[in-house]
Amino acid sequence: MGSLGGARTVGRPAGAWRGIVEEFRRDLSLPADAPAITLREGNTPLVPALRAGRGADLFFKVEGCNPTGSFKDRGMAVAVSGAVAEGARALVCASTGNTSASAAAYAARAGLPALLAVPAGDGAVAKGKLAQALAAGARLVLVRGNFDQALAAVRTLAAARPHVALVNSVNPLRLEGQKTGAFEVVAQLGDAPDWLCIPVGNAGNISAYWRGFCEYRAAGRARSVPRLLGAQAEGAAPLVSGRPVDAPVTVASAIRIGRPASAHLARAAVAEADGRFLAVTDAQIIEAYRFLARQEGIFCEPASAASLAGFWAARASGLIPEGARAVCVLTGHGLKDPDRAVAEGDAPLEVEATAEALAGVLPPGVD
């Protein structure tokens, strides 16, 4: 603890962002003596939409700019800081990929081993996320089952072992960290937006954002709270149908989840927020994914694009009115899933290494 605590002040220029544990410590329920295990997560850009807004005042919270490329780093920083304070000797989690990538990095930062249980099978976890876990030296285990089964297994494993810290979002510190996304949105806009649109898988993040908005309103730091739009993939939409899904399917592997662990919290949040859960098809998700990269310049992963697909559906139905201020949370970076990007892109051209050859393939209308 001493050496980790000391590391906090090393090489810190005045005014530099210290990561969410230090920046928001007074608003986090974390033991006061917990060290900050941080990669300087948070402080991600809120980027105005140029072309996607369809008459609304739309912004993107670009969570792919976190250290491991997803919003999970906010929760992981707090969960791992808490685990170190409690003397954990190992971290475990189940994951569709981003939680494991984040756990692997923060375990490395904390000097702890990590056991990551991810679903086996082709395309079950996007390649970039596997690469991150392997790069960090974590013990990556492919389990013969889906995410929901993997989560049940690691919960049972960790419950019997006090020195094994479970860092899935059933760990309350995860949601504590992730609520800071809402704090930042309020700071960036000057108040809460009218609507917050967010992809829903295990249902932790939507619950965390709601907590963050409510706390800021209670503290007088925001005048209002947003309505919540929770977007699920049609083939993995238990919160829309009201029934668990035993074999969830969607191109958005991050949210291929049929039994969300935080379903109760998310349902309560959406009810209090006068919000909605909404299902979007894989075709709608991919349309939004392509639009974001090609028309907005923002490369996110497919699951993240579900937020924009949901926003568009809600604009079309009139649920989100013209002129409303909305934020879509783009939860993970596009590089997480390189196979999808290549599959959606145009095949590259190959020519001789001459100016003449390149002149022959200039974009139309350019000479």
Binding site residues, ligand AN7, CB under 6 A:
70, 95-99, 169, 199-205, 254-255, 301, 303-304, 331-332
User: Residue 254 CB, nearest distance to ligand AN7 (Å)?
Assistant: 3
Distance CA 243, CA 100 (A): 27
One-letter amino acid for residue 154 of the chain: V
User: Residue 202 CB, nearest distance to ligand AN7 (Å)?
Assistant: 3
Q: What tokens appear for 174 in the block?
A: 């995860």
CA-angle at 283, arms to 282 and 284, nearest 5°: 90
Q: Which residue has the tokens 């809600």?
A: 314
Distance CA 226, CA 109 (A): 35
Distance CA 60, CA 78 (A): 24
User: Residue 124 CB, nearest distance to ligand AN7 (Å)?
Assistant: 11
The count of other CB atoms within 10 Å of the CB of residue 329 is 26
User: Residue 309 CB, nearest distance to ligand AN7 (Å)?
Assistant: 13
- Residue 278: which of 246, 330, 320 has the closest Cα? 320
- The nearer residue to ligand AN7, 95 or 132, going by C-beta atoms, is 95
How many residues appear in the chain?
Answer: 367
The count of other CB atoms within 10 Å of the CB of residue 4 is 17
Q: What tokens appear for 220 in the block?
A: 């007088």
- The nearer residue to ligand AN7, 199 or 235, going by C-beta atoms, is 199
- The nearer residue to ligand AN7, 38 or 169, going by C-beta atoms, is 169
The count of other CB atoms within 10 Å of the CB of residue 220 is 7
- The nearer residue to ligand AN7, 146 or 169, going by C-beta atoms, is 169
Q: Classify burial at 264, counting beta carbons within 10 Å of its beta carbon; exposed 0-12, middle 13-18, buried 19 or more.
A: exposed
User: Residue 304 CB, nearest distance to ligand AN7 (Å)?
Assistant: 5
- The nearer residue to ligand AN7, 201 or 235, going by C-beta atoms, is 201
φ, ψ dihedrals at 285, nearest 5°: -65, -45
- The nearer residue to ligand AN7, 78 or 85, going by C-beta atoms, is 78
User: Residue 95 CB, nearest distance to ligand AN7 (Å)?
Assistant: 3
Local structure of residue 293 (DSSP, 8 states): I
Q: In the beta sheet, which residues pair with residue 196?
A: 228, 327
User: Residue 133 CB, nearest distance to ligand AN7 (Å)?
Assistant: 11
- The nearer residue to ligand AN7, 81 or 304, going by C-beta atoms, is 304
- The nearer residue to ligand AN7, 296 or 337, going by C-beta atoms, is 337
User: Residue 9 CB, nearest distance to ligand AN7 (Å)?
Assistant: 32
